Amino acid sequence: MNKSSIFFTALLALLVFPAGKPEAQVTFYDPGTVQELEIHFGYSNWDYRLDTAKAGAGDYIMADWVKINGQQFDSVGVKYKGTSSYDPEYLKNPLHISLDEYKDQSYQGFASIKLANGYGDPSLIREVLSYEILANYMDCSRSNFAAVTINGTYIGLYSNDESVNKKFCSSHFYSSGNTFIKCNPEVAGPYSKSNLKYISNDSSDYFSLYEMESDHGWNDLVALCDVVTNDLPAYESTIDIDRALWMLAFNNALVSLDSYSGWFSQNHYMYRDNTGHYNPVIWDLNMSLGGFPFAGTQGGGSASLTVTDMQQLPPYLHYNHTDWPLIVVLLSNPQWRRMYIAHMKTLLGEFISSGEYLDRAADLRELIDSYVQADANKFFTYEQFLASLNTNVTFGSYVIPGIGTLMDARAAYLEALPEFTAAAPSITSVGPANPSPLFNTSVTINATVSGNSSGSVWLCYRLDKAVKFTRMVMYDDGQHNDGAAGDLVFGQAFTISAPEAQYYIYAENADAGMFSPQRAEHEFYTLEAVIQTAGPGDVVINEFLARNVNGVLNEYGNHEDWIELYNTTAMPLDLFGLYLTDDLADPGKFAFPDSTFMDPHGYLVIWADEEDNTAAYIHCNFKLSANGEALMLSDGSGTVLDSLTFGPQADDISLGRCPNGTGAFTSQATSTFNLTNDCPAFTPEITPGAAVELSPNPVRDYLNIRCSDPSLLKAEFFNTAGMKLAETELDHGEGSFAVSSFPAGIYFCRLSGESGAIVRNCKFIILK
C-alpha cells in the first residue's frame, strides 16, 4: 500500500464522524461503538519521525494532543509497533498511544492504547471477533474498533485492543507486582520460539526470546521453563492447568496459529499470581481464524497449510513435539486430555456449530462497513471485505481462508472424530442441599450424574476468588447426604467459612469428560452464606486520604482519594443496603453493590475517584475534598453507622483512628492502606474532659491551642517515645506555640491545670 494513496473528503467526515454525537460518554471498549481517535502533531513529517523512532530505540514521539471521542489530552506519547504488520512504506501502521507518557492522565482509567492495523485480514474483524469468543472461556483483552485520523486526515479503521499490563493483572489476577512475562522473541522465527522450553540455568539464554514486564523475574522464568519441560509432578502447583487447557483448545479450534500452538510459539503472557501459579493470557489475534497458516514442525520451518489442512488441523497438534513442551505434557495426561477435548467441544458447540460466530460477524461487519469503505489504506479491497466470510484470498505466498469457509468445515471435521463423538457423562440438578447456609457451617453440594460408569465425579470449590479451586471426590454411597446409594445423586460437603463459595462439577468416564457449568473454571456456580448486615458500631470509617499525590495507585494506575472501612466484629458482615456519602444532605449518594462483604476484623478500601468498579476494588461516585468536608456511613434512612468531619488536608497524610478501629482520628505520617493503622508506640491515655481544638493540624509553623476549660494553664509537648520536648503557658485554656524548630513527625500535646492533673492529651503532626 503506497503512502500516496491516502485521501480525505467531506463525505468521509460525514461517514466516520457524524454530527449529533450523543452527550453520554462512550465506553472505551464497548463492542457496539467505533471509537473516534484524533491525533495531532505540530509538524507535517510525523510519519517520517514515527518511522525513525521505530527504526531506532522504539521510543515515543510527542503528539501535541490526542482526542478520544472528543475528549482532548495534551502532550501524548505515540509510536509505531508491530513486526510483520509494520512497514515504513505503510501509512496505516499499528499504533501504541501512551496518554501518561509525559503527563499523568488517562481516558476512563486507560492510559495505554494499542491499535492494530488489520494486516493480513480481509475481513478486518478477526481480532475483535476472536477476542469476543475467547472472553467466554478465559481472561483476555477487550477489543473493539477505532477510526483514527492524524492531523485531520483519516488514516483508517483499527482494532482497539486492551493492553495486557499491570492494571489488567490487578483486575483479573488480584495482584500486579509479581513475575510477569511476555512471550515474544526479539525476532520471531522457527528457531526462536517463546515456547517455555528449558534451555539452561543461565537466564541470559532467554533474553532474546522473552520480555520481562515486571521489575524482576528472569530466574523465575528459568524455573518455570524447567517445570514445563522437566518436572511433571510440579505442574499443578506451578501452572493454572485449566487456563492453559483453554488456551490450547482455543488456539486449535479457531486455527489461531500465531500463538503458542503455531510455528513461532509466541503472542502470550504468563503472569504469576499470589498463589504461585502462572496464568497464560492470549495476545494478538489479528491472524486468528486461519490468518496465519503456519503450524510448524519440530526443529525447523513449515510450509504454509492449505485451506483443507487448516480445516482438518489435528486437535492434538504437536502432542509429541519437544518444541512444544506445554502441549506434550498436558495432552499426555489422560484426564487433562479429556478436559481439553471437553473445552473444545464447548467452544465449538456454543459458537461455531451453532452459527453464533456468523451472527456476530454480520453484526461487526455492519458496524464498520462505512469506515472500511472510507479507509484508503486498508490492505485489501472493499470487495474482498464484503466477500471475506466465504471467499479465500491469496496474500503473499499463502492463502487466507474465508472465515465461514474455514470454520464450518472445521467444526464438521472435529465433531466427526472419535474423541468428539464419545459419550460424555451427563450432569444435572447441581446445587446445594441447603441454599441458605449459615456462615461457618457445613454445606453439601449435590449433582445427578449418569454415564460416568467407572469414572469419578469431582466437586471443585473455593472460598476466595483470588485462590485456586480445591478438588474433592463426590460420592453416591448414601453416606454423603446424597440420598440412596446408587441413585446417581452424588454429594460432597465443605465448610462455608467465607461470605461466598464458588464451585463447579467435573465428571468423566474412560472416553470423555464433562464440566458443569461447561465454561468452568472461567464460569462457576456461586453460593452465599447467610451473613448479618452491618449495624451501628459494627463497621467504622477507619482511615482516609484526601490528597493522594505520591501514595498508593489504584488499579487504573492513578493517585486517587481512598476511604478505608474496618469490621470491628469477629463475624463477616454484609454491606449491601448501606450507603456512603460526603454530603450529609444526600445520605444515599453511593450504594454498596450486592455481595459486598467484609471479613471478621477485616478492611475494605473504597476508591473515591468516580471510576467503575473492578474485580479488585470498589469505586464510589464522589471524590474527597482536600479542603475538608464530611463522611458518613449509614443505611440511607436515618441509622448512622459512623460519620466524621475533617478540615484541610496535607499531601499524602491520611487521617486514621488510633487505636485502630476505635480511637480518635489522628494524622498518619505513613498511611496504612488496607492495613492496621500505624499508631505510635507512645499513646498517652486520653482522659474525659473539656473539648480541645489544635489548629492547624497538620501544622508547619505555629500550633494554636484552644480549650473550653479556662482552668487549663499549661501545655506540654512530647514525641512518640514519650520524651518531653517543651512546654508553654496557657491563658484561660488558650495559647500558641512555635513548632518550626521540631522535625517533621507525630507529637502529643498534654494539657493540665493548677493541680497538675492531666485533663486531655491530643495528637498532632508537623510538616516541613
Model confidence at 746: pLDDT above 90:
no
Q: Considering the entire predicted model, what is its pTM?
A: 0.79
CA gap 573, 535 in Å, rounded: 9
Q: Integer distance in angstroms from the first to the last C-alpha of the chain? A: 61
pLDDT tens track for 491-515: 999 999 988 999 999 999 999 999 9
CA gap 313, 305 in Å, rounded: 9
Question: Which residue is listed with cell 506555640?
Answer: 737
- Beta pairing, strands 532-533 & 573-574: parallel
Model confidence at 3: pLDDT above 50:
no
Query: 414 near 346, Cβ under 8 Å?
Result: no
- Mean pLDDT for 704-715 is 83
Do you find a cis peptide bond into 521, omega within 30 degrees of 0?
Answer: yes
DSSP classification of residue 349: I
Q: What is the pLDDT at residue 195?
A: 97
The residues that bridge with 281 in the sheet, in sequence order, are: 269
| CA separation, residue 400 to residues 118, 337, 376, 396, 412 (Å) | 13, 30, 21, 10, 20
| CA separation, residue 654 to residues 19, 25, 677 (Å) | 46, 32, 10
DSSP classification of residue 308: H
Above pLDDT 90, what percent of the chain?
Answer: 70
| CA separation, residue 69 to residues 16, 73, 114, 175 (Å) | 12, 11, 16, 31
Q: Where are any strands of DSSP class E within 163-247?
A: 180-183, 211-212
pLDDT band for 128, please (50, 70, 90 cuts): very high
pLDDT band for 571, please (50, 70, 90 cuts): confident
What's the one-letter identity of residue 691? A
Q: What is the pLDDT at residue 690?
A: 58
Model confidence at 22: pLDDT above 60:
no
Model confidence at 750: pLDDT above 70:
yes
Query: Phi first, then psi: what are they for 158, rounded to 5°?
Result: -120, 160
Lowest mean pLDDT among 92-101, 287-296, 564-573, 759-768: 759-768
Instruction: Give the side-chain half-sphere CA count within 13 A for 55.
Output: 9
CA gap 45, 151 in Å, rounded: 10
- Taken as a whole, the chain contains a residue count of 768
pLDDT band for 722, please (50, 70, 90 cuts): low
Query: 532 near 571, Cβ under 8 Å?
Result: yes
- CB neighbour list of residue 442: distance below 8 Å, 6 or more residues apart: 493, 494, 495, 496
The residues that bridge with 427 in the sheet, in sequence order, are: 449
Query: 150 near 388, Cβ under 8 Å?
Result: no
- Mean pLDDT for 20-42 is 82
- Mean pLDDT for 698-724 is 78
Question: What share of residues in the chain are helix, strand, coil (percent, to 5)?
Answer: 20, 30, 50
DSSP classification of residue 179: -
pLDDT tens track for 300-343: 567 799 999 999 999 999 999 999 999 999 999 999 999 999 99
CA gap 622, 82 in Å, rounded: 40
pLDDT tens track for 634-675: 998 889 999 998 888 888 889 999 888 988 888 877 788 998
- CB neighbour list of residue 109: distance below 8 Å, 6 or more residues apart: 167, 554, 555, 556, 557, 558, 611, 612
Record the cell numbers describing residue 444, joined without a space: 453439601
Question: Which residue is listed with cell 455492519?
Answer: 366
Q: What is the pLDDT at residue 21?
A: 37
Lowest mean pLDDT among 50-64, 457-471, 685-699: 685-699
Query: 285 near 131, Cβ under 8 Å?
Result: yes
pLDDT band for 683, please (50, 70, 90 cuts): very low
Model confidence at 8: pLDDT above 60:
no
Model confidence at 685: pLDDT above 50:
no
Lowest mean pLDDT among 163-167, 296-300, 413-417, 522-526: 296-300
Q: What is the DSSP string of 663-688?
A: SEEEEESS--TTS-----S------S
pLDDT band for 730, please (50, 70, 90 cuts): confident
pLDDT band for 764, please (50, 70, 90 cuts): confident
Lowest mean pLDDT among 278-282, 484-488, 704-708: 704-708
- Mean pLDDT for 565-586 is 93
**What's the order of all strands across the beta sheet hosting 758-766?**
724-729, 714-719, 745-752, 758-766
Supply the mean pLDDT for the chain.
Answer: 90
Instruction: Reduce the DSSP state of residue 260 to 3 states and report it.
Output: coil
Record the cell numbers describing residue 433, joined without a space: 442441599
Lowest mean pLDDT among 189-198, 251-260, 724-733: 724-733
Model confidence at 20: pLDDT above 80:
no
pLDDT band for 25, please (50, 70, 90 cuts): low
Model confidence at 6: pLDDT above 70:
no
Q: What is the pLDDT at residue 321?
A: 94
Domains observed in the chain: 3-162 (no CATH), 168-352+395-421 (no CATH), 440-521 (2.60.40), 533-668 (2.60.40.1260), 692-766 (2.60.40.3080)
pLDDT band for 726, please (50, 70, 90 cuts): confident
Model confidence at 553: pLDDT above 50:
yes
CA gap 721, 699 in Å, rounded: 20
Gyration radius from the chain CA atoms:
31
Q: What is the pLDDT at residue 16?
A: 41
pLDDT tens track for 221-277: 999 999 999 999 999 999 999 999 999 999 999 999 999 999 999 999 999 999 999
- Beta pairing, strands 34-40 & 143-150: parallel
Burial class (CB in 10 A: 0-12, 13-18, 19+), 731: exposed
pLDDT band for 689, please (50, 70, 90 cuts): low
Record the cell numbers describing residue 76, joined without a space: 501524548
- Mean pLDDT for 126-154 is 98
pLDDT band for 765, please (50, 70, 90 cuts): confident
Query: 293 near 258, Cβ under 8 Å?
Result: no
The residues that bridge with 438 in the sheet, in sequence order, are: 530
